Amino acid sequence: MAGIRVENLTKEYGDTVALDNVSFEIHEGEFTVVLGISGSGKSTLLRCINGLTKPTEGQVVIQDGPVVAPREEIAMVFQQHNIIGGMSAYSNALSGALGRNGLTTSLLRTHDREDKLQALDALETVGLLDEAEQRAGQMSGGQQQRVGIARALVQNPDIILADEPVASLDPGSAQDVMRYLLEAADERGLTAMISLHQVNLARQFGQRFIGLADGQLVFDGYRDDLTFDVIDDIYGGIDMEQFLSGDDTETTTEAVR
C-alpha cells in the first residue's frame, strides 16, 4: 500500500507550462479522479507520477522515495487500450508480469503457476474470466480496456493510474469500465488516480478529486465539496443543463449545494 505525495510539481515544454507548482497528497487506498479540460495538464500529472515524464521542478514521492523512473509498484492503464489484438485476453493479462520476469520469460511463455493464477484472478476481477481465451482484438472497446486493467493488476501494483481510460467508449461501456476499476481498487486496497473529462462519470465514481486548469491546481477535495462553483472553476462555464441531464443526476443534485 502506498500514498502519493506531489510536491511543487512544475513541468514545462518550451514555453508551455503544463503543470505549474502543483502540490497535494493522496492517502493510501483513495480513489481519486483528476478533472480538467483538454490541455489542463492531466496526462502530464499522471506521467510525472509514474515516472514516464521528468518534472522541470518539484517531485513526486511514493513510499518515502522520489519517483525518478517507472516503478513496478505503479501500474498505468492507457486511453488507447495498448493491448495486443492477436493475443488472447489471458496472454495480454499475463504480460503484466513482464516487469517482474523479463522479456525472455514472456516470449518463452515460461511463467510460473503463480503468474498464471494471477492473470486468471485479474480477469475474474474485471468480469472476463469466461472470455479468457478470446482474442483481444475481437473484443469490444470496453472489454479491451478491461483486459488492460487486468494486465495492470497482474503487475501487482500498490498504485494504479489510468489516463482517460473511457474516453473512446460509449456511455454504457464507460460506466462498466469505471465500475470494474473502482471494484478492483477496492478489492485490492490500491491507491487509484483516474483522469476523466466527463463530470458526471467523475462524480459518480470519484471519492477524492483533483481539479486542474491551465496546469494549476484549482481544486483538491472530496465529493461533497465538488460544488457547481468548483466545477465552473475547473471547466470555465460548463453548460449546467447538460451537466444535470446525465445518468447520475440524482446523486449530483443531492451533493451540489
Binding site for ligand ATP (CB under 6 A): 13, 16, 18, 36, 38-44, 164
CA distance 97 to 76: 13
| Dihedral pair phi/psi, residue 50, rounded to 5° | -95, 5
Nearer to ligand ATP, 18 or 62 (CB): 18
Give the other-Cβ count within 10 Å of 114's Cβ. 9
Nearer to ligand ATP, 13 or 222 (CB): 13
Where residue 124 falls (left for φ over 0; alpha for ψ -120 to 50; beta otherwise) is alpha
Nearer to ligand ATP, 36 or 165 (CB): 36
Q: What's the closest the beta carbon of residue 234 comes to ligand ATP, in angstroms?
A: 11
Q: What's the closest the beta carbon of residue 217 comes to ligand ATP, in angstroms?
A: 13
CA distance 211 to 37: 9
Q: What's the closest the beta carbon of residue 162 comes to ligand ATP, in angstroms?
A: 12
Nearer to ligand ATP, 36 or 148 (CB): 36
Q: What's the closest the beta carbon of residue 38 comes to ligand ATP, in angstroms?
A: 3
**Which residue type is seen at 61?**
V
| Dihedral pair phi/psi, residue 33, rounded to 5° | -105, 130
